[in-house]
Amino acid sequence: MTILAFTVDHRGMLENPLFRWGVGLWGAVVVIAIAYFFLSGTVQLVAYGVAVVDAIMTPLVLKRAAEE
């Protein structure tokens, strides 16, 4: 089956790197939006750091989950 120009087979969505990185980046975008609109000062900067960690770590954790 083809969804949004990439194929999905029986292995599942977690096998697809585009999906894994999309989930990580989407989570980071949500955290950044919340930090920008609702937080200020040091707490805002910490939230931006959390967003960076989320964007990097989520795809790696999902990849490990797909392997098991």
Tell me what pLDDT residue 6 has: 58
Q: What is the pTM of this model?
A: 0.79
Domain of residue 10 covers 2-67
Name the burial class of residue 66, with classes exposed (0-12), middle (13-18) and buried (19+) by CB atoms within 10 angstroms of its CB: middle
Domain total for the chain?
A: 1
| pLDDT tens track, the chain, 68 positions | 455 555 555 568 888 899 999 999 999 999 999 999 999 999 999 999 999 999 999 999 999 988 88
Predicted local distance difference test score (pLDDT) of residue 13: 86
pLDDT of residue 28: 97
Q: What are phi and psi of 2, to 5 degrees?
A: -105, 125
Q: What is the pLDDT of residue 7?
A: 59
